[in-house]
Amino acid sequence: MKIWYGVLLLLFFTLAACGGGDATDNSATAAPAAQTPEEKMLAEGKGIGEVKFVELKTPLEAERVSRGKAIYDMKCAACHKLDDKRVVGPGWKGVTKTRKPEWVMNMVTNVEIMLEKDEEAQKLLQLCLTRMPNQNVSLGDARDVLEFMRSNDGEK
């Protein structure tokens, strides 16, 4: 009788051990798939910051373009030219073709974190060797500048 009891116990523990093994397997496969929303944005080339989605309209919004131009003249022109020549920062020609609109707006409104976490921003820093200063550009102003950049890239 005692032996049978022992066999049953052994069987029980073996099964329990198998069950435990399955459970750890599941969590091991689930872990790498979990990407934080932040990592997802970075991976999609949208940068990092408040701007998750930008709706672009065609034709361009003329009022935004002229407000964007005024902001450019006042706050950006000292470091950015409108052609492809680098001064302090890169020239803006083609920037709306190579970057997503979300990336551009996050770069303008969240530059410190972008330089810390976004690879493309870091490459620019290596190239320019100067950190773009945070200029307290509001989201609305950044959106206007983006529209001006689209116009600078020949969009109608």
Candidates 61, 39, 50; CA nearest to 103 is: 50
Candidates 92, 80, 82, 84; CA nearest to 130 is: 80
CB closer to ligand HEC out of 25 and 112 = 112
Q: Which stretch binds ligand HEC (CB under 6 A): 24-32, 36-44, 47-55, 87-95?
A: 87-95
**φ, ψ for residue 124, nearest 5 deg:** -65, -40
Contact flag: residue 99 with ligand HEC (CB under 6 A): yes
CA distance 92 to 81: 6
Selected binder of ligand HEC within 41, 42, 51, 104 (CB under 6 A): 104
Which residues are at the interface with ligand HEC (CB under 6 A)? 71, 75-76, 78-80, 88-90, 95, 99, 104, 107-108, 115, 124-125, 128, 130-133, 135, 137, 145
